[in-house]
Chain A
Amino acid sequence: MGQWDAGRAAQGERLAAGAALATGKAVPRDHVVALLEAVIRPFDRVCLEGDNQKQADLLAAALAAVDPGKIHDLHMVQSGVVLPEHLDVFESGVARRLDYAYSGPQAGRIAKMLFGGRIELGAVHTYLELFARYFIDLTPNVALIAAVSADRDGNLYTGPNTEDTPTVVEATAFKSGVVIAQVGAIVDRVPRVDIPGDRVHFIVDAGKPFYVEPLFTRDPGAITETQILTAMLAIKGIYAPYGVKRLNHGIGFNTAAIELLLPTFAERLGLKGKIATRFALNPHPTLIPAIESGWVEQIHCFGSEVGMDGYIEARSDIFFTGPDGSLRSNRAFCQTAGLYACDMFIGSTLQIDLDGNSSTVTTSRIAGFGGAPNMGSDARGRRHPSEPWLKAGREADPDGAPALRRGRKLVVQIGETFGEGNAPTFVEKLDALALAEKLKLDLAPVMIYADDVTHIVTEEGLANLLLCRDRDEREQAVRGVAGYTEVGRGRDRKMVQRLRERGVIKRPEDLGVDVLDADRSLLAARSIKDLVRWSGGLYKPPSKFRNW
Chain B
Amino acid sequence: MEKLTFRHTTAKAAAGTKREAIVGVVASGNLEVLVERVLPERDCEVDIATAAHGFGAVWSAVVADFVERYSPGGLRLSINDGGARPDTVALRLAQGVRTIEELGD
Residues in chain A within 8 A of chain B (CB atoms): 224-226, 229, 416-418, 422, 459-460, 483-484, 489, 515-516, 518
- Nearest first, the 6 closest Cβ-Cβ pairs linking A and B are A484-B86, A418-B85, A459-B87, A226-B87, A484-B58, A484-B61
How far is it, in angstroms, between the C-alpha of A518 and the C-alpha of B91 when the chains are bound? 9
Chain B: residues with Cβ within 8 Å of the partner, total of 14
A484 vs B94: C-alpha distance when bound (angstroms): 16
Q: Are A516 and B94 in contact (CB under 8 A)?
A: yes
- In the docked arrangement, what's the CA distance between A515 and B91, Å? 7
Tell me whether B52 and A422 are in contact (CB under 8 A).
yes
Tell me the smallest distance from the CB of B21 to a CB of chain A, in Å: 13
Distance of A460 Cα from B62 Cα, bound (Å):
12
A148 to B17, CA, bound (A): 67
For the complex, give the distance between the alpha carbons of A515 and B97 in Å: 13
Q: Is B5 an interface residue (CB 8 A)?
A: no
- Is there an interface contact between A516 and B88, defined as CB atoms closer than 8 Å? no
Q: A483 to chain B: which residues have CB within 8 Å?
A: 86-87
Contact call B98/A516, Cβ cutoff below 8 A: yes
Interface residue SS majority, chain B: helix
Q: Which residues of B contact A (CB under 8 A)?
A: 52, 57-58, 61-62, 83, 85-88, 91, 94-95, 98
Q: Of all chain A residues, which has the CB nearest B86?
A: A484
Kindly list chain B residues whose C-beta atoms are within 8 Å of the C-beta of A460: 87
Contact of A224 with B88 in the complex, beta carbons under 8 Å: yes
Q: Please, how many angstroms separate the alpha-carbon atoms of A518 and B62 in the complex?
A: 19
Chain A's nearest CB lies how many Å from the CB of B25? 12
Cα-based distance from A267 to B86 in the complex (angstroms):
30
CB atoms of B86 and A418 under 8 A apart = yes
Closest beta carbon of chain B to A226's beta carbon, Å: 5
What chain A residues lie within 8 Å of B85 (beta carbons)? 226, 416-418, 422
The answer to whether A484 and B62 have CB atoms under 8 Å apart is yes
Report A-chain residues with C-beta under 8 Å of the C-beta of B88.
224-226
* Closest beta carbon of chain B to A25's beta carbon, Å: 54
Pairwise interchain contact A417-B91, C-beta atoms closer than 8 A: no
- Which residue of chain A has the shortest Cβ distance to B85 in the bound complex? A418
Chain B residue with the shortest CB-CB distance to A459:
B87
Question: Could you tell me the distance between the alpha carbons of A418 and B86 in the complex, rounded to whole angstroms?
Answer: 8
- List 14 other contacts, CB 8 Å, given A224-B88, A418-B86, A422-B52: A226-B91, A229-B91, A417-B85, A417-B87, A418-B87, A422-B85, A483-B86, A483-B87, A484-B87, A489-B57, A489-B58, A515-B91, A516-B98, A518-B91
Tell me the bound Cα distance from A8 to B83 in angstroms.
63
Which among B58, B62, B87, B95 has the highest number of chain A CB atoms within 10 Å? B87
CA distance A518 to B87 in the complex (A): 12
30 contacts between A and B (CB under 8 A): A224-B88, A225-B88, A226-B85, A226-B87, A226-B88, A226-B91, A229-B91, A416-B85, A416-B87, A418-B85, A418-B86, A422-B52, A422-B83, A459-B87, A460-B87, A483-B86, A483-B87, A484-B58, A484-B61, A484-B62, A484-B86, A484-B87, A489-B57, A489-B58, A489-B61, A515-B91, A515-B94, A516-B94, A516-B95, A516-B98
CB contacts (< 8 Å) of A225 on chain B: these are 88, 91
A380 CB → nearest B CB, Å? 36
Q: How far is the CA of A385 from the CA of B94 in the complex (A)?
A: 44
- Give the Cβ gap from A325 to chain B, nearest Cβ, in Å: 43
Cα-based distance from A224 to B98 in the complex (angstroms): 19
Bound-complex Cα distance A484 to B87 (A): 8
Q: In the bound complex, what is the Cα–Cα distance between A226 and B90 (angstroms)? A: 10
Q: Are B86 and A417 in contact (CB under 8 A)?
A: yes
Q: Give Cα distance in the complex from A226 to B98, angstroms.
A: 17
In the assembled complex, the CB of A51 is this many whole angstroms from the nearest CB of chain B, namely 31
A480 to chain B, nearest CB (A): 14
A224 to B83, CA, bound (A): 15
Collect the chain B residues with CB atoms within 8 Å of residue A489's CB.
57-58, 61
A226 to B29, CA, bound (A): 12
Q: B83 to chain A: which residues have CB within 8 Å?
A: 422
Closest to A421 in B: B83
Residues in B neighbouring A417, C-beta threshold 8 A: 85-87
- Chain B residues with CB under 8 Å of A459's CB are 87, 91
Give the distance in Å from the alpha carbon of A33 to the alpha carbon of B101 in the complex.
Answer: 72
Chain A neighbourhood of B87, CB < 8 A: 226, 416-418, 459-460, 483-484
Chain A residues contacting B94 (CB-CB under 8 Å) are 515-516
Once the chains are docked, how many angstroms separate the CA of A534 from the CA of B57? 45
**Distance of A282 Cα from B3 Cα, bound (Å):** 47
What is the CA–CA distance of A224 and B84 in the complex, to the nearest angstrom?
12
Cβ-closest chain A residue relative to B55:
A422
Nearest-neighbour CB distance to chain B for A519, whole angstroms, equals 10
In this complex, which of A416, A483, A484 has the most chain B Cβ atoms within 10 angstroms of its Cβ? A484
Question: Nearest Cβ in chain A — how far from B70, in angstroms?
Answer: 11
> How far apart are the CA atoms of A6 and B83 in the complex, in Å?
65
Using Cβ atoms and an 8 Å threshold, which residues of chain A touch B52? 422
